[in-house]
Amino acid sequence: MALLCAVGAAALLWLLFGWLVRPASVHNLWIVIPGRGNGNLLEAALRQLAWLRRAGLFRGEAVIWDAGLTPEGRELALRLSLRWSWVTCCPSGALEEWLGR
C-alpha cells in the first residue's frame, strides 16, 4: 500500500512539474537565427525548431537574419524559407525594422 501511495505521489509531482514548465502560449514569438558564411548551420537550427513545432513546444516563427551570408548562404536561406512557411529571411541591416512590423 505504501508503494502505491509513493507511486501516486510521484505521478502527481511529475504532473505538477510538467504543468509548471510547460511552454507559454505566446503566438507572436520570433526567433532570430543569424546566418553567417555559407549558412551551413541554418538547416540544423531550423530542423530543431521544426521538431519543437511538431511537439507543440514552439508556436512562433523564425527569421534568418543575414549577418554576413555569402551568395551561396543567401540561396540556402531562401530555399529554407520556401521549405517551411514559418521561416522568413531578413536582409542585412534591416532587422529592427523587420521585427517592428
| pLDDT for residue 62 is more than 90 | yes
Distance CA 101, CA 87 (A): 16
**Mean pLDDT value across residues 18-24:** 69
Which pLDDT score is estimated for 20? 73
Residues of the chain with pLDDT > 70, as a percent, come to 91
Distance CA 3, CA 49 (A): 40
Does residue 94 contact residue 64 with C-beta atoms inside 8 Å?
Answer: no
Residue spans of the domains in the chain: they are 25-99
| pLDDT for residue 25 is more than 70 | no
Residue with cell 514552439: 58
Does residue 27 contact residue 50 with C-beta atoms inside 8 Å?
Answer: no
